[in-house]
Chains A and B, each alone.
Chain A
Amino acid sequence: MRADPADYCLASPGSLLAVLSMLAAEPAQWLPIAGGTDVMVLYAAGKLPNRKLVNIWNIPELRQIEVFPDRIRIGAACTYTALRMHPIVSQEFPLLATAASWTGGIANQNRGTLGGNIANASPAADSLPALLVYDAELTLVSARGERKLPYRSFHIAYKQTALASDELIRDIFLPRRFSGYVSHARKVGARNAQAIAKVCLAALGRLANGTVQDVRLALGSVAPIPLRLVATERELLGKKIAPSLLVTARRSVTGEIRPIDDIRSTARYRAAVSGNLVVEFLEKLASEGENA
């Protein structure tokens, strides 16, 4: 059943403070809408549970990317296009710029936002593994005040997040300390583009004297939430990348993920591909890591 627009409110208060006071007055009633690339799809299909929406597309502080000496601040309503065009994002956070280029076509990249991708909390979202490996930190704001939360603590269970019903994601902070790392981004879908991921990987690593000094691995579409592979990372740390380590890594990845059979793929295929992608990254790290 198609939605009737007469049944829905859309308020455009125009300032963050006013949005937060509306969320505070009626928690869980107002659904923030930025670029609408998720919300409007549900709405058009008549499947949007909320009847009241509040526009956050026109809030200036949510649309800025600010560069500081030690970190960058991405406003939650920055679009994928803004991320791709930003020189510091593309130079120092290539995994995020690449993920932005995977997300939809140009028209959806012009509207879809990083904060929306986080709040929508799909385990298959392209940009979220990159945020995990870059140690993103969120600022969540409400009329009660603001709090910082490491992004790795944001997702609690499938489509459940740490966001309170009166809160909004305002900032995504990324520390500027990964520019010397070897990075690898790979998405496997039914097609090369315009497909939701069967598996996607964001990986960062650094070698010193032939051994793994730091490694960060995250996968999408293999668990109820975007997953950082902490156990596999521990297995790799301090080791030389050799054929036996690749076998260990593959086994560890398979033990750590929780893939399912669904419309896009099977658990078995996802497990095999997850191992392949991590091995592909480690081979790249072995060949490029000493020079990085």
Chain B
Amino acid sequence: MVPSLETSAKRDVFFTVNGETKKVLAHPMERLLDVLRNELGLTGTKEGCGEGECGSCSVLMDGMLVNSCLIPVAQASGANIVTIEGMSAHALLLPLQEAFLECGGAQCGICTPGMILAAVHLLDKKPEPTLAEIREGLAGNLCRCTGYMEIFEAVATAARQRVGK
């Protein structure tokens, strides 16, 4: 038996968002980005390019950094999603916020949620990244204000602060 072959109709999708189990009624090809923003009101996740080039819609899905504009919501069924709103409990958020403020890493703010999530994804894997590793870790996140140097410095500062150097 193949369950539900013709599946353009809306149906329930269950997943965990920021630690809470959620049920949303959605078309399977709706973008995770739109479901997060429009159904769940999590507007911290931004839409920039809508084609996976800019990283402003970054979220963590099962611990992996992903562009939520490229994910049909049906593929997020059963997944554990963390958006920028869910970062408030993360130990890295305060040092990153302070470092972004101190270094001038945020200007207009559209890229910032994605930058923070990409930085968290990087620092969780590499607590003491080199500048090259920071550049690579954030390479999929575009910023049209800062020129990037302030953002790289902010991530390096947060990393140093976290490991106590």
| A interface residue numbers (CB < 8 A to B) | 3, 5-13, 18, 21-22, 33, 35-37, 40-41, 43-45, 51, 53, 55, 57-58, 81, 101, 104-108, 110-111, 193-194
Contact = CB atoms under 8 A, between A and B. Distances in A.
Given A21-B2, A107-B65, A194 B71 contact: no
Given A37-B52, A43-B29, A44-B69, A8 B8 contact: yes
A36 B64 CA distance: 15
A44 B51 contact: yes
A36 B8 contact: no
B121 interface: yes
Interface of B: 2-8, 26-31, 50-53, 55, 58, 64-67, 69-72, 74-75, 77, 118, 121-122, 135-141
Contacts, number: 120
Nearest to A35: B70
A51 B8 CA distance: 9
A5 B29 contact: yes
B29 A107 contact: no
A13 B52 contact: no
B69 A40 contact: yes
Contacts of B71: 36, 40, 111
A68 B139 CA distance: 35
Contact of B141 (A11, A22, A53, A105): A105
A43 B3 CA distance: 24
Contacts of A10: 7-8, 28-29, 72, 74
Main secondary structure of the interface of B (DSSP, over half): loop
B6 A105 contact: no
B67 A108 contact: yes
14 contacts: A6-B8, A6-B27, A9-B29, A11-B2, A11-B5, A40-B69, A41-B70, A44-B51, A55-B72, A55-B74, A57-B75, A107-B52, A107-B55, A193-B139
A40 B49 CA distance: 12
B5 A22 contact: yes
Nearest to A193: B139
A22 B6 CA distance: 11
A13 B27 contact: no
Contacts of A7: 8
